[in-house]
């Protein structure tokens, strides 16, 4: 029966042709698609640098690249992945595309500002590319002073400006979401009927708007110190090098939540859809996003337990760090409970959701070792930390993002992709990821420091495992690029609601018209309402 | 444990290493318990509640307050145990015992320089006695570094412009890694070395062999007169600067009315940036030595000033060092063969 489905005649993709119709669009969906292409390019670039790092680390000697080249590789891997891929990923692509239809609106509150945010992102990326092509940068993505302010002779300033500029794109996106969610909900769509995806983006937007200016100011301070010789962080000129870390992590710890919380929102949608039931403890999950956003601002110094801060402040920050672990745990328990008495099926997005839960679980639990003072002193700045944040950032945030892409791809393009390819990809990513990063926990406890170009021989076996895993992971990531691109022209038409999902975005055609809805969506009485009637209709459309 | 197969733990060679390892194992046990429980539930539910026929929907279960409270409160309690144990282990690592011997460490792109009060100086290698509490005062000549002893389970950043400290008591003789764990530029991964734990007698013998140029304090005393510090800071208190006798560990009242405890960081700052804290009753006459004196000489001066406060000083290790000769102030012990490439 699916064969009889056809793409609708009019939709946002064919509403205007030519480059100009895209570059001057105010349609949130087209902007989202342009973000999708942009960050996919950045992801490939970041992945290229990661491949270089993993290749170098296959042998204990620093024999593939010069030390300086290696240092640039891990720095640019971090900068690209954090600032130009992870931070925009789910919000700028999926949030941008889906928040208006999810709240029953035609567009975001400020369509022009939305387009502006994309241009700002491109401008920031242009600065980064300038830095890259003039020789790169080697400070680590954390830009610690005084190394970044007077020691490094690489392109710190253009890179930092690129990060600074792209930060504004993130602020504008956040602002747009907050206003849209407050002001543009369809009649009858009260806060507690909103999809949890929207709640998660609301929490994320608060962090973007409140946190990003702090890192922007910090970057300006580094710039002023480098360019004009003001003593802010350089002790020789009366500055305080540790001040930088306070300012940097005041933003960059919450930034972790900018990356992960939207993915948590995606998870709630996937799990609800493929269990055909509402999320267990909807309000707990909704408020846990807000709790994470708030607590995220008061734990920054857990990155500084060995940076010479007072042991008593370390005590406070350790305690607060545990407080942020609890809402994350609550989410996992709620998703697991949602599976209970569900009607579960394992379409590709659900495979990603399962993979996400496994990896996020490991990422969260290993955070306990780092929040605990006694173990953090030993583990700080070792591969244990590298493994931990990759479980959260890659296992969590990217897995959630790619799962979301697989879930909403039919809505975004109107077409289905190869189910076999998607299953393969989900499995390869899960296996490859664990093979890459699990050995790094052991390396970390063994004492291998991060950012090492060469290392003692006893660490080699685990490093080879890790590099082999990275190869598998790479294939897992390349596959979707192939079958999703292929589906654009050859994929079967998806119909409005191929998964039988409950959200408002599934009430309109796929791909939607520019105004999203041809007739006003019907707001359900409860969030995530699945009745046998709705499900059957969806499956049989 | 090590060498064959995949090693899981570094050697546990300090008084607190076992406590850290036990804490680590405790968190692993908790993590495995919760992790496995959740994964089993996920897989089991996935099998039991697999969709039977198209169009079927799940049962609408909106939540359960008792369960929510249960799985919020239980992890909270368990995490408080981790927090408490972690804090205990942390304070054990951060607060040195009253009786320690002091070693000075200076990080510099890309090497570690260590100085023993008895005079021995080494690069990328640190000799310490077994069973004795060793306090390491750490600073950096350039950017941030971090002094890491994996086998002792401790590390501390080296921060330019101040002293930070760590301490340990080695419990097993042997040679263990020293790593720099704060990224510091080109040869960060070459900024490694080894700590050699020796029987106390051997250590004394080793010290005696390495003390060319006198003790650290003697070098400091020499600098003290070379740099003309002694013309103002007279022990009699008659000089233009305050007497430095018995000041370490004591509280001083400053010109602006505040008070400060005079520790090594205070001494360091008062030399480098002498205008920062002026003792009440004195004029800000002293030149700032910023840029005129390197960290190693600074350490010698600080060590010398500390000898003027015998009460505040923990009794030093019985100095077997026979204040050897006059000669150069640069008796540098060369490391036998360590990692620092290039
Ligand atoms: Cu953090
Ligand atoms: Cu280093």
CATH number of domain containing B284? 1.10.760.10
Show the tokens assigned to A201.
């983006």
**pLDDT given at position B173:** 94
Average pLDDT per block of 10 residues along chain A, 541 residues long: 72 90 94 96 96 95 91 95 94 96 93 95 95 91 85 86 92 95 91 93 92 84 82 81 88 88 94 92 87 87 88 90 86 91 92 94 93 94 96 94 96 94 96 96 95 93 95 96 94 89 90 90 83 54 39
Could you tell me if B158 lies within 8 Å of chain A, comparing CB atoms? no
- Torsion, CA A312, CA A317, CA A319, CA A324, rounded to 10: 180
Task: Examine the domain organization and report whether B220 and B248 are in the same domain.
Answer: yes
Min distance A431 CA to chain B CA atoms (Å): 16
Number of residues that make up chain A:
541
Q: Nearest residue on chain B to A137, judged by CA atoms?
A: B185
| Biggest distance spanned by C-alpha atoms of chain A | 75
Q: With CB atoms and an 8 Å threshold, state whether B55 touches A532.
A: yes
* List of chain B residues whose C-beta atoms are within 8 Å of the C-beta of residue A53: none
Query: Is the model's pLDDT at B323 over the cut of 70?
Result: no
* Helix axes of A156-183 and A96-103: crossing angle, nearest 10 degrees: 10
What is the ipTM, given to two decimal places?
0.91
Chains A, B: CB contacts under 8 A, how many? 295
Task: Examine the domain organization and report whether B172 and B222 are in the same domain.
Answer: no
* List of chain B residues whose C-beta atoms are within 8 Å of the C-beta of residue A358: 39, 42
Show the tokens assigned to A327.
């809402």
3-state secondary structure at position A524:
coil
Whichever domain contains B114, its CATH number is 2.60.40.420
Query: Is the model's pLDDT at B192 over the cut of 90?
Result: yes
Task: Examine the domain organization and report whether B238 and B141 are in the same domain.
Answer: no
Secondary structure element (H or E) that encloses residue A252, with its range: helix A241-275
**pLDDT given at position B8:** 83
Nearest alpha carbon to residue B298 among B129, B126, B79, B138 = B138
Query: For B55-82, how does the pLDDT look when each residue is reduced to its tens digit (9 = 90+)?
Result: 788 888 888 888 888 888 999 999 999 9
Could you tell me if A541 lies within 8 Å of chain B, comparing CB atoms? no
Show the tokens assigned to B208.
């005696």
Q: With CB atoms and an 8 Å threshold, state whether B86 touches A374.
A: yes
Ligand with minimal distance to B189 CA: 2
Q: Which residue has the tokens 């008495």?
A: A341
Task: Examine the domain organization and report whether B193 and B259 are in the same domain.
Answer: no
CA–CA gap between residue B47 and residue B40 (Å, rounded): 11
Strand partners, B111: B108
B32: containing domain: 10-42+65-95
Average pLDDT over residues B194-210: 90
Shortest CB distance from A446 goes to which of B10, B184, B189?
B10
Show the tokens assigned to B52.
């039977």
Task: Examine the domain organization and report whether B17 and B111 are in the same domain.
Answer: no
* List of chain B residues whose C-beta atoms are within 8 Å of the C-beta of residue A445: 8-10, 24
Q: Which residue has the tokens 């709790």?
A: A291
Confidence of residue B244 (pLDDT cuts 50, 70, 90): confident
**Plot region of A411 (φ>0 → left; ψ -120 to 50 → alpha; else → beta):** alpha
213-252 in A: which are within 8 Å (CB) of B?
235-236, 238, 240-242
Task: Examine the domain organization and report whether B106 and B202 are in the same domain.
Answer: yes
- A471-493 per-residue burial string, b: 16 or more CB within 10 A, e: under 16: ebbbebbebbeebbeebeeebbb
3-state secondary structure at position A47:
helix
Average pLDDT over residues B160-174: 92
Could you tell me if B162 lies within 8 Å of chain A, comparing CB atoms? yes
Average pLDDT over residues B229-255: 79
| d(CA B328, ligand 2 centre) in Å | 31
Test mutation, B37, B181, B261, B291, chain A, max A CBs within 10 A? B181
CA–CA gap between residue A451 and residue A132 (Å, rounded): 19
**pLDDT given at position A4:** 65
Q: Nearest residue on chain A to B179, judged by CA atoms?
A: A449
**DSSP-derived secondary structure for A180-224:** HHHH-PPTT--GGGS-HHHHHHHHHHHHHHHHHHHHHHHHHHHHH
Q: With CB atoms and an 8 Å threshold, state whether A373 touches B9.
A: no
Phi first, then psi: what are they for A229, rounded to 5°?
A: 70, 20
Strand partners, A4: none
Phi first, then psi: what are they for A522, rounded to 5°?
A: -90, 120
Strand partners, B198: B129
**pLDDT given at position B273:** 79
Shortest CB distance from B146 goes to which of A319, A341, A381?
A381
62-121 in B: which are within 8 Å (CB) of A?
62-64, 67-68, 71-72, 75-76, 79-80, 82-83, 85-95, 109
Confidence of residue B330 (pLDDT cuts 50, 70, 90): very low
Min distance B52 CA to chain A CA atoms (Å): 7
* List of chain B residues whose C-beta atoms are within 8 Å of the C-beta of residue A453: 188-189
Query: For A194-215, how does the pLDDT look when each residue is reduced to its tens digit (9 = 90+)?
Result: 999 999 999 999 999 988 888 8
Query: Is the model's pLDDT at B327 over the cut of 50?
Result: no
Structural domains in chain B (count): 3
Asked if residue B342 is part of any domain, the answer here is no
Mean of all residue pLDDT scores within chain B: 82
CA–CA gap between residue A457 and residue A459 (Å, rounded): 5
Q: With CB atoms and an 8 Å threshold, state whether B157 touches A329.
A: no
- Interacting residues of B24 by C-beta distance below 8 A, sequence separation 6+: A369, A375, A378, A445
Task: Examine the domain organization and report whether B199 and B221 are in the same domain.
Answer: no
CA–CA gap between residue B240 and residue B286 (Å, rounded): 9
Ligand with minimal distance to A380 CA: 1
Min distance A381 CA to chain B CA atoms (Å): 6
Q: With CB atoms and an 8 Å threshold, state whether A326 touches B187.
A: no
Q: Nearest residue on chain B to A146, judged by CA atoms?
A: B143
Task: Examine the domain organization and report whether B233 and B265 are in the same domain.
Answer: yes
346-385 in A: which are within 8 Å (CB) of B?
346, 354, 357-358, 361-362, 365-366, 368-369, 371-378, 380-382
Shortest CB distance from A374 goes to which of B8, B85, B164?
B85
Query: Is the model's pLDDT at B321 over the cut of 60?
Result: no
Query: Is the model's pLDDT at B44 over the cut of 70?
Result: yes
Laid out side by side, the sheet with B145-149 consists of: B125-129, B193-198, B174-180, B145-149, B154-158
Shortest CB distance from B27 goes to which of A361, A362, A375?
A375
Share of chain B above pLDDT 90, in %: 44
From B210, B244, B279, the end of a domain falls on: B210
Q: With CB atoms and an 8 Å threshold, state whether A344 touches B50.
A: yes
Superfamily of domain A2-537: Cytochrome c oxidase-like, subunit I domain (1.20.210.10)
First to last CA, chain B: 31
390-449 in A: which are within 8 Å (CB) of B?
442, 445-447, 449
**pLDDT given at position A534:** 56
| d(CA B183, ligand 2 centre) in Å | 4
Q: With CB atoms and an 8 Å threshold, state whether A368 touches B31.
A: yes
Min distance B19 CA to chain A CA atoms (Å): 9
Shortest CB distance from A381 goes to which of B59, B182, B291?
B182
* List of chain B residues whose C-beta atoms are within 8 Å of the C-beta of residue A434: none
Q: With CB atoms and an 8 Å threshold, state whether B90 touches A278.
A: no
Average pLDDT over residues B127-151: 94
* Continuous H helices in A276-380: 282-295, 311-339, 348-371, 373-379
**pLDDT given at position B297:** 82
Q: Nearest residue on chain B to A382, judged by CA atoms?
A: B181
Asked if residue B154 is part of any domain, the answer here is yes
287-326 in B: which are within 8 Å (CB) of A?
290-291
Query: For A512-524, how does the pLDDT look when each residue is reduced to its tens digit (9 = 90+)?
Result: 999 999 888 888 8
Strand partners, B261: B251
Min distance A370 CA to chain B CA atoms (Å): 10
């Amino acid at each position: 029966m699916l064969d009889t489905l056809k793409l609708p005649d009019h939709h946002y993709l064919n509403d205007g042709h030519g480059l100009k119709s895209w570059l001057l669009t105010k349609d949130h969906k087209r902007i989202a698609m342009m973000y999708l292409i942009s960050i996919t390019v950045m992801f490939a670039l970041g992945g290229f640098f990661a491949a270089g790092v993993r290749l170098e680390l296959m042998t204990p000697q620093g024999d593939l690249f010069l030390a300086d080249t290696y240092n640039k590789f891990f720095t640019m891997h971090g900068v690209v992945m954090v600032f130009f891929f992870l931070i925009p990923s789910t919000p700028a692509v999926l949030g941008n595309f889906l928040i208006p239809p999810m709240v029953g609106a035609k567009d975001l509150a400020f369509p022009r500002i939305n387009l502006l945010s994309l241009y700002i992102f491109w401008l920031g990326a242009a600065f980064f590319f300038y830095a890259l092509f003039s020789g790169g940068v080697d400070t680590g993505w954390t830009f610690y002073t005084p190394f970044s302010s007077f020691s490094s002779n690489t392109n710190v300033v253009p890179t930092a400006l690129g990060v600074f500029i792209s930060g504004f794109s993130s602020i504008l996106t956040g602002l747009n979401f907050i206003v849209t969610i407050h002001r543009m909900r369809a009649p009858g769509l009260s806060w507690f009927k909103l999809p949890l995806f929207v709640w998660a983006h609301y929490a994320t937007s608060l962090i973007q708007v409140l946190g990003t200016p702090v890192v922007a100011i910090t970057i300006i301070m580094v710039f002023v110190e480098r360019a004009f010789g003001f003593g802010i962080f350089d002790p020789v000129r009366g500055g305080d090098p540790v001040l930088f870390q306070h300012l940097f992590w005041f933003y960059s710890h919450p930034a972790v939540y900018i990356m992960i919380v939207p993915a948590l929102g995606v998870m709630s949608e996937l799990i609800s859809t493929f269990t055909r039931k509402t999320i267990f403890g909807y309000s707990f999950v909704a408020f846990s996003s807000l709790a994470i956003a708030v607590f995220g601002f008061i734990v920054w110094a857990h990155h500084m337990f060995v940076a010479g801060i007072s042991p008593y402040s370390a005590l406070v920050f350790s305690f607060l760090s545990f407080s942020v672990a609890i809402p994350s745990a609550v989410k996992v328990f709620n998703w697991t409970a949602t599976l209970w008495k569900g009607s579960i099926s394992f379409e590709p997005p659900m495979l990603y959701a399962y993979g996400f839960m496994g990896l996020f679980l490991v990422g969260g639990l290993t955070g306990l070792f780092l929040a605990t003072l006694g173990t953090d002193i030993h583990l700080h700045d070792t591969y244990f930390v590298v493994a931990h944040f990759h479980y959260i950032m890659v296992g969590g945030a990217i897995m959630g993002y790619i799962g979301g892409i697989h879930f909403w791809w039919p809505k975004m393009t109107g077409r289905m992709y190869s189910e076999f390819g998607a299953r393969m990809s989900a499995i390869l990513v899960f296996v490859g990821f664990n093979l890459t990063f699990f050995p790094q926990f052991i390396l970390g406890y063994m004492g291998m420091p991060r950012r090492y170009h060469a290392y003692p021989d006893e660490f080699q076996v685990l490093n080879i495992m890790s590099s082999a895993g990275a190869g598998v992971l790479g294939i897992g990531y390349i596959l979707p690029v192939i079958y999703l691109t292929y589906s654009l022209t050859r994929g079967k038409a998806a119909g409005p609601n191929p998964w039988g999902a409950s959200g408002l975005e599934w009430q309109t055609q796929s791909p939607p018209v520019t105004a999203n809805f041809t007739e006003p969506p019907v707001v359900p009485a409860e969030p995530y309402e699945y009745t046998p009637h709705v499900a059957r209709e969806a499956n049989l459309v | 444990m090590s060498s064959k197969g995949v090693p899981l733990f570094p050697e546990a060679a300090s008084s607190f290493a076992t406590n850290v390892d036990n804490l680590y194992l405790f968190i692993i046990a908790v993590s495995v318990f919760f992790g496995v429980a959740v994964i089993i539930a996920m897989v089991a539910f996935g099998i039991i509640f697999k969709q039977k026929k198209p169009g079927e929907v799940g049962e609408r279960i909106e939540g359960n307050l008792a369960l929510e409270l249960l799985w919020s409160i239980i992890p909270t309690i368990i995490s408080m145990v981790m927090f408490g144990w972690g804090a205990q282990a942390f304070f054990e690592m951060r607060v040195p015992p009253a009786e320690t011997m002091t070693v000075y460490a200076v990080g510099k792109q890309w090497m570690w320089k260590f100085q023993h009060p008895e005079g021995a100086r080494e690069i990328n290698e640190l000799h310490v006695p077994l069973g004795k509490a060793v306090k390491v005062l750490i600073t950096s000549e350039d950017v941030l570094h971090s002094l890491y002893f994996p086998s002792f389970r401790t590390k501390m950043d080296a921060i330019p412009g101040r002293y930070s400290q760590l301490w340990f008591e080695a419990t097993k003789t042997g040679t263990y890694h020293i790593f720099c764990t704060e990224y510091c530029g080109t040869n960060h991964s070459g900024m490694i070395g080894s700590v050699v734990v020796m029987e106390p007698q051997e250590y004394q013998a080793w010290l005696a062999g390495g003390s060319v140029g006198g003790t650290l304090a003697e070098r400091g005393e020499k600098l003290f007169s070379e740099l003309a510090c002694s013309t103002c800071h007279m022990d009699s208190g008659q000089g233009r600067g305050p007497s430095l006798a018995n000041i370490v560990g004591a509280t001083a009242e400053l010109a602006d009315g505040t008070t400060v405890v005079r520790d090594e960081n205070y001494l360091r700052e008062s030399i480098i940036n002498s205008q920062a804290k002026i003792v009440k009753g004195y004029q800000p006459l002293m030149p700032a030595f910023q840029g005129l004196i390197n960290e190693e000489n600074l350490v010698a001066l600080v060590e010398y000033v500390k000898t003027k406060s015998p009460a505040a000083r923990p009794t030093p290790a019985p100095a077997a060092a026979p204040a050897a000769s006059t000669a150069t102030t640069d008796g540098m012990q060369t490391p036998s063969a360590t990692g620092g490439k290039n």
